[in-house]
Amino acid sequence: MASKAAAVLLLVYLSGSTFGIKLTGNGYTDILIAINPEVPEDPVLITQIKEMFKEASRHLLNATKKHLYFKEVAILVPPNWNKGNYPKAKTEVYDKANIIIDEPNKLHGDQPYTLQYGECGSEGRYIHLTPDFMLNDDVSKYYGPRG
């Protein structure tokens, strides 16, 4: 699991997608992960997201010599997911997410990518991850670690 934090950590850094993200003390807060309503309900997906960020936070803390970590990450669960006891959205909205979990698209498949409209190095809109990338170890081995 230690290597799984590296890919998302790197994607967060490279994407420049900081909409809403704040640095409070030494911790990044207001990171929003949104699951697309078309993604079938799976509580394991929520667990994997949490584990990915816990691991990424440990790597970030270590890489920055105990200066930075992920302090607050919110997961926006689709309103049509009703099997679990998921908290209702307060002010979080899908269109403002920093990371989106959605089905693969034709161009990228299950490969993680950052949607951005500018030139290389420009700020991205969001990071796109797929349910298979998050849940299937064979997929994450092919594209690299999750976090």
Query: In this predicted structure, what is the pLDDT of residue 144?
Result: 66
* Structure confidence by residue, pLDDT tens digits, 82-136: 988 898 888 999 999 999 999 998 999 888 888 888 888 777 889 999 999 999 8
Does position 52 have pLDDT exceeding 50, yes or no? yes
* Structure confidence by residue, pLDDT tens digits, 11-45: 444 444 456 899 999 999 999 999 999 999 999 99
Q: Could you give the CA distance from residue 130 to residue 73 in angstroms, rounded to a whole number?
A: 18
Q: Could you give the CA distance from residue 74 to residue 115 in angstroms, rounded to a whole number?
A: 20
- Domain range annotation of the chain: 4-143
Query: In this predicted structure, what is the pLDDT of residue 140?
Result: 66
